[in-house]
Structure 1
Amino acid sequence: MLFICAGFIACTDDDKVKITEFTLTLTEPEDLNVTSISDLHVTFKNVNTGKLTTNTMTGTTGKLTLNEGLYNITVEGKMNYIVDEKNVEGQVKGYKESVNLVGTTSADNIKLFLFNSKADFVIEEVYFAGSTTLEGKQYSGDQYFKIYNNSDSVLYADGLVILESEFTTSRQYDYTPDIMSQAMTVTHIYAVPGNGKEYPVQPGESILICDKAIDHTIATPNSFDLRNANFEWYNDNDQDVDNPMVPNLDIIYSSTLTIWTLNNQGLKAYAIARMGVDKQTYLKDYLYECSYVNSGYTMTKNYYKFPNEWIIDAVNISNKAQYVWNVVDPSLDMGFTYCGEVASDKNRYNKSVRRKVLSTTPDGRKILKDTNNSTEDFEAKATPSLKQ
């Protein structure tokens, strides 16, 4: 099957532009009984120029002529599959970064996944860069997450887990074995306490989870009074501050011996999830031993892995200049968002990343955008919601 292409090869009139005949093969999701895939739209984004080329495919293999270059490829379409002897239609997506088209011919493969559009909790906002004092110095301790009920039903925050990635979006290695399609490699896992129905969240409402639930405006007017946060994360040692009036998150795993602070450059991924096993089983059975080459030396590390099937929502964060890859599977997030343009960008302070509003219901409830693409779903370098 061939791509249906039109109107984007005009630049080949310039004999100096090298072109490649690219063959793209799409692989069906392994865990589904797929009967058909249709309405496939493929977008090629030239990493260097930002130019977008969108085409359609009539099958799972197609050929296209493109200028040589480095591309990010996004696939969207429809898929029919069998569940309990019934035919179900769903949305299918795929994504691959840094596909290098070089030479007269080139080929690559992208794994498709079923996009789950069921409304649930989503990450509404991450305030990671921190604030500034009146003297322009960095102020930390006021980092926070806002988690939003994007459904039309009451959801319970009890047991909801916040994850931080072990890997950074600014440095890429070839980790062996590569488990990204099955799990997220994590460095912190904190969970909301509760007995199952202790912390209800109404449709269209948020919970605020912060580092230190104190009045930070005493130190700097650029910060916030977080004493009314719903939860705080607290490491029980002399370096942390605890507000006894605000419930602490339960620590499932933390790689730090001191306190957990979010990467203030924004070089991590964050996710929310629900554990599929208890804490003791997790710590026993979900170790991840991997190796990679760094400066000519083979490094062997032990991390923890968190199954993708437990994850509800994820966001990759970087700054634009340092971004090199996503550290979660494309089925969780196909893009990234940011507060800083470059490394150590002082303009990142006093800003957050905030999920965009898709629509508003007649009763005024906001529905936030959730396409599993943080580039599209989030407002970068935004004014923090607590400032508004």
Structure 2
Amino acid sequence: MKKISYLLLLIITAAISCKKEDTISTGIRPVDVTVNLSYGLDSSKYKLPVGGITVKMTNTNSGTVQTATSNDSGRVRFTNVQAGAYDIDAMVTIADTTYYRITGNLIEENITFNASEKNTRVAVGDEIKLNLTLVAGTVGDWVIKQIYYAGSHTTQGALYRDQFIELYNNTDKVLYADSIYIGQLFGRQSLTRNNTHVLPNGQVDWTHSVGMNPNIDANNDYVYTRSILMVPGNGTTYPVQPGSSIIIAQTALNHKTPFTGANGNTISVKDPSLTVDLSGADFEAYYGDFAGSPLASDIDNPEVPNMVVYQYNGRDYILDNPGRDAYIIFKVDASQNVRNWPSYPLPTLAPPPSTADYYIQVPNQYIIDGVEVQPSAAEDRIPKKLNAAFDAGFTFVPKGSYSSQSVIRKTARTVNGRIILKDTNNSTEDFDYLDFANPRGFK
């Protein structure tokens, strides 16, 4: 009996030992993650509530989501977190009446605060502690409603020539589209290329750009564009009714039917159902007057006004098909001349060549709305270009490039027949997708 018990003890000990060694060798021992929340406020005269805020941890590989709620001190604790990469997001909406009672500041509608830390690495070791600062997002009259960046099938569809962006009047009053700027942001496009100075989050560190002003916060107070287009007009030329939108097309044609390209050849699609009719677009981006070698598909539709091109990159207004761009809309006051804004080359480790591209530095203070787009596959995603004040999350089309899919802002509610779109400055929450891009459609 003693021999059997001793043998059983050895087996159990060995099993425990193997399990322990396996945990150590595989490096998957769970750890605890503590998140401390606070507000990024200019005033210390009042305190907004930090308790009861839901924080999400999303495993970027598996998509598994864990949620926890903060205590009255703003602390959230996740236990037994497996090693991996995580997106950590917090969002809280405070009623306008509550905000007024606490701060004395009168606002017209509820205010949303966001905090985000993307691609956080959780590894075996001591407990991980993170500090997240909740910031109030910008709420503008205009919002980016739909972005059709993926394009349609390379041989059956229209490739990328059917791309468009849709802007929406999210108010109950008439707005004028005149002089709205659309910026296509640029930054680090690949994690495998390490030829630039980078920040701890992996994004480009613009402070190292040649000629950069050392007296500004180049990374936090500005964004950098590779294209800027502006809606023409004298200020009251293009009224947009409440709950209506404008479509800015790469080329304002019906891409379902054949047309004659700039080179005289016929351009057509094999499967018209994969693409869109943009002949009714409000504006188009025409590069034929200045690009050295514009694409043959860049046709100027005389019935559709051209956007004013302040900055361009390439042979047409092409949106990044994999989804590695972010997009902003902004307006400036009379003191600003966008053409005179400084531009800088990428902060490469080696001196930039004389042929290097330059990117316009856009002050955050003029941004009305921003949307971060990312590749559909988690392993292809890149560091964010927009901070939480403009977009605490990101959006994407699940089928990726040339899928005919678009990202579209969700409907929040309908008031007297007018659709109000969701706008919490977190596109992970605010956006969905359409299986087939649909100008002026809703989700």
Kindly indicate whether residue 412 of structure 2 is the aligned counterpart of residue 358 of structure 1: yes
- Between the aligned partners of 2:414 and 2:373, the Cα distance in structure 1 is 27
Computing the radius of gyration from Cα coordinates, the structure with the larger value is 2
Does structure 2 conserve the Cα–Cα contact (< 8 Å) formed by 1:319 and 1:341?
Answer: no
Local SS of the residue matching 1:123:
strand
Does structure 2 conserve the Cα–Cα contact (< 8 Å) formed by 1:170 and 1:325?
Answer: no
Local SS of the residue matching 2:67:
strand
Does structure 2 conserve the Cα–Cα contact (< 8 Å) formed by 1:32 and 1:81?
Answer: no
The 5 Å alignment of 1:1-388 reads 16=23, 18-29=29-40, 31-33=42-44, 35-38=46-49, 39=51, 40-49=53-62, 50-60=64-74, 65-69=79-83, 70-77=85-92, 86-87=104-105, 90-102=111-123, 103-116=125-138, 118=139, 120-132=141-153, 136=156, 138-167=158-187, 170-171=190-191, 172-177=202-207, 179-216=218-255, 217-218=257-258, 219-220=268-269, 221-222=272-273, 223-235=275-287, 236-237=289-290, 239=294, 240-256=298-314, 258-276=315-333, 280=337, 282-288=338-344, 291-292=347-348, 302-321=358-377, 322-341=380-399, 348-361=402-415, 363-386=416-439
Deviation, 1:115, is: 2.8
- What do the CA deviations read for 1:227-284 (whole angstroms, capped 9, x no partner)? 321111112246232122211111222244x32211122221112111346664x343
Deviation, 1:209, is: 1.0
Deviation, 1:367, is: 1.4
Unaligned runs of 5+ in 2: 1-18, 192-201, 208-216, 259-267
- Between the aligned partners of 1:125 and 1:336, the Cα distance in structure 2 is 13
- Between the aligned partners of 1:81 and 1:366, the Cα distance in structure 2 is 25
- Between the aligned partners of 2:311 and 2:163, the Cα distance in structure 1 is 19
- Read off the aligned partner of 1:267 and give its amino acid letter: R
- Between the aligned partners of 1:165 and 1:33, the Cα distance in structure 2 is 34
Deviation, 1:92, is: 2.3
The aligned residue for residue 11 of structure 2 is none
322-331 or 184-193: bigger deviation:
322-331
Deviation, 1:170, is: 4.9
- Read off the aligned partner of 1:263 and give its amino acid letter: D
Local SS of the residue matching 2:165:
strand
Does structure 1 conserve the Cα–Cα contact (< 8 Å) formed by 2:322 and 2:374?
Answer: yes
Deviation, 1:186, is: 0.9
The TM-score with structure 1 as length reference comes to: 0.81
The aligned residue for residue 196 of structure 2 is none
The TM-score with structure 2 as length reference comes to: 0.72
Q: 1:59 to 1:276 in 2, by over 3 A?
A: farther
- What do the CA deviations read for 1:53-108 (whole angstroms, capped 9, x no partner)? 2221322556554424332221233678899x934584322111122233122223
Deviation, 1:201, is: 0.6
Deviation, 1:150, is: 1.2
Local SS of the residue matching 1:131:
coil
Local SS of the residue matching 2:166:
strand
Bigger helix fraction: 2
Q: 1:387 to 1:59 in 2, by over 3 A?
A: closer
Local SS of the residue matching 1:318:
coil
Deviation, 1:169, is: 5.7
- Read off the aligned partner of 1:86 and give its amino acid letter: G
- Between the aligned partners of 2:395 and 2:89, the Cα distance in structure 1 is 17
Q: 1:96 to 1:244 in 2, by over 3 A?
A: same
Deviation, 1:113, is: 0.9
Unaligned runs of 5+ in 1: 1-13
- Between the aligned partners of 2:326 and 2:399, the Cα distance in structure 1 is 17
Deviation, 1:288, is: 4.3
Higher RCO (C-alpha 8 Å, min separation 6): 2
Local SS of the residue matching 1:375:
helix
Does structure 1 conserve the Cα–Cα contact (< 8 Å) formed by 2:168 and 2:243?
Answer: yes
- Between the aligned partners of 1:157 and 1:59, the Cα distance in structure 2 is 44
Local SS of the residue matching 1:372:
coil
Local SS of the residue matching 1:309:
helix
29-38 or 169-178: bigger deviation:
169-178
- Read off the aligned partner of 1:120 and give its amino acid letter: D
- Between the aligned partners of 1:288 and 1:61, the Cα distance in structure 2 is 40
- Between the aligned partners of 2:136 and 2:397, the Cα distance in structure 1 is 30
What is the root-mean-square deviation in Å for CA atoms of aligned residues? 3.2
- What do the CA deviations read for 1:283-326 (whole angstroms, capped 9, x no partner)? 43433466255xxx686975222122211222222322122332
- Between the aligned partners of 1:264 and 1:78, the Cα distance in structure 2 is 33
- Between the aligned partners of 1:186 and 1:206, the Cα distance in structure 2 is 24
Local SS of the residue matching 2:429:
helix
- Between the aligned partners of 1:376 and 1:61, the Cα distance in structure 2 is 23
Deviation, 1:32, is: 4.4
- Read off the aligned partner of 2:233 and give its amino acid letter: G
- Between the aligned partners of 2:65 and 2:118, the Cα distance in structure 1 is 15
